[in-house]
Amino acid sequence: MTSHGPTSRWWPVVLGFVVAVCIVMAAGLTWVLLAPAGAPERVPRPTSAGSRSATGSEPAAGSVTATGSETATGSETARSEPLAGVQQVLDRRAAAARARDESAWLADLDPSAAGLRQRQQALLSALRSLQVRELTLRAERFLPGPAVRPDGSVGDQAARVDVVGAWRLPGVDARPAPFTLELTVRRHGGGWVVVDDAGPGTVRQAFDLSGLQVRRNPAGVVAGNAPAERLDEVAVDLAPAREHVEHAWGALSHLPAVLLPATSSEFAALTGRVGKDTSGVAAVTYGMLETGSVARGDKIVVNPLAWASSTRQGRRIVLTHELTHLAVRATTTHPVPEWLSEGYAVHTSYAGLQVDPRRAAPELMAAVARGTLPTRLPEDERFSDVASGTAYDEAWLLVDWLARARGEDALRRLYREMGTGSTPSDALGRIGLTESTLLAGWQEDLRRLAR
């Protein structure tokens, strides 16, 4: 996770990732579940990097108020008055968005910024399609730049502003989730106008996708600017994937949402991964994570490059994997070890399929066959390594053994207890295990599988 300059203040609060499904994009290797004769049979291997980890204070999402004090004097007044002026612009724009008033929505844009005007027209159209009626914007501070003087006051040049917004997708989000914006503004006619909305501190949202289409059905919401047939496919597959996850974990309290951007650059922008290599990531469960609270604003975001290169069955596995993360994050409040988080998602997404570990996890099985067994449970840091595939294979087979040895109910109870604050040793003890007996049982099962 990378902060973007001055906006890093809110970054840990706004972003929480579960990155799923690392794909080997080597020449000639494709995702297959039931491979045609002569093709390499390799089950898609869901992977992720990170679990519940966001910390920090939470920006208020209910109201939009100006920063500053009525009693401020001197340089404090010089700093607060311009920010209050920008806040007035944001208040008007938030009200216009809620009222679906295009004239008011565009009124505070720089008249010379034609590209911005087009983007903002598309954004308002997307808000309508998504049926969003809760949108708030709050100006936090002016960012350092030519317009900001040494005493903190703001001159007449274009200035950058750090903004925290919040929005709620009806039926999907129980309460608004925050996001960050970096706007460029300038003085105009005694007030302020927005010059640009594409600062590096902006993390794009679903409503930023130009040409957004929405599919709503009883199973969830699918939205994006990917080809219509891709949205239709996911909308169809969402119901069985949701049923599969709910059978394993329990009923979802809200509709899941899946975002399908048209390009990999849009995928990176939606997930805060601009400038990073996303070629090996098929999907991300993305939202706000804060220890002690359930996830907020979770959306599944699909990488179009990886999605297009997989089989239909592989895509269904990815969707089920991500829905598992989404369901767990909606009902737990504390981090769990990565081996449990990722192993459970893989275990759930493979349930009911004939998956041969010797083909799905060949590197691990080959090592065990040579007598090289894991000597400890998979450590969290291994899941963010470049060569993290073996860690995910280990996590899957560890959780798979747990389910067979103690039963699905015990596995689910273990996860729920750890996910609500119990220590691993306490939670394991309640199902009759210690970390040592867990390790020993798993090692013996790996030997059996490798034979």
- Split at pLDDT 50, 70, 90, the class of 81 is confident
In a domain, 59, yes or no: no
Average pLDDT across the chain, whole number: 84
Q: Distance between CA 346 and CA 43 in Å, rounded?
A: 11
The total of structural domains in the chain comes to 2
Domain final residue pick, 185, 208, 231: 208
Q: Residue 373 belongs to what domain range?
A: 336-451
Q: Distance between CA 255 and CA 214 in Å, rounded?
A: 14
In a domain, 402, yes or no: yes
Task: Provide the 3-class DSSP secondary structure of residue 241.
Answer: helix
- The pair phi, psi for residue 286, each rounded to 5°, is -125, 135
In a domain, 296, yes or no: no
In a domain, 429, yes or no: yes
Lowest mean pLDDT among 30-39, 46-55, 316-325: 30-39
- Beta-ladder partners of 181: 163
pTM assigned to the model: 0.83
Domain final residue pick, 208, 226, 247: 208
Pairing outcome for strands 257-260 and 296-302: parallel
What's residue 386's pLDDT?
58
Q: Using the predicted structure, report yes or no on whether residue 241 has a pLDDT greater than 50.
A: yes
Q: Distance between CA 399 and CA 144 in Å, rounded?
A: 49
In a domain, 300, yes or no: no
Q: Using the predicted structure, report yes or no on whether residue 238 has a pLDDT greater than 90.
A: yes
Domain final residue pick, 178, 208, 238: 208
Q: Cβ–Cβ contacts within 10 Å for residue 351, how many? A: 17
pLDDT single digits (tens) 346-400: 999 999 999 999 999 999 999 999 999 999 999 999 998 656 789 999 999 999 9
Q: Distance between CA 390 and CA 382 in Å, rounded?
A: 9
Q: Using the predicted structure, report yes or no on whether residue 46 has a pLDDT greater than 80.
A: no
Helix, strand and coil percent figures for the chain, each rounded to 5: 45, 15, 40
What's residue 343's pLDDT?
98
What's residue 6's pLDDT?
28
Q: Distance between CA 1 and CA 274 in Å, rounded?
A: 10
Q: What CATH number does residue 192 fall under?
A: 3.10.450.50
Q: Cβ–Cβ contacts within 10 Å for residue 312, how many? A: 11
pLDDT single digits (tens) 117-159: 999 999 999 999 999 989 999 999 999 998 898 888 888 889 9
Question: What is the sign, positive or negative, of the torsion defined by CA atoms of 40, 361, 234, 242?
Answer: positive
In a domain, 8, yes or no: no
- The pair phi, psi for residue 225, each rounded to 5°, is -115, 15
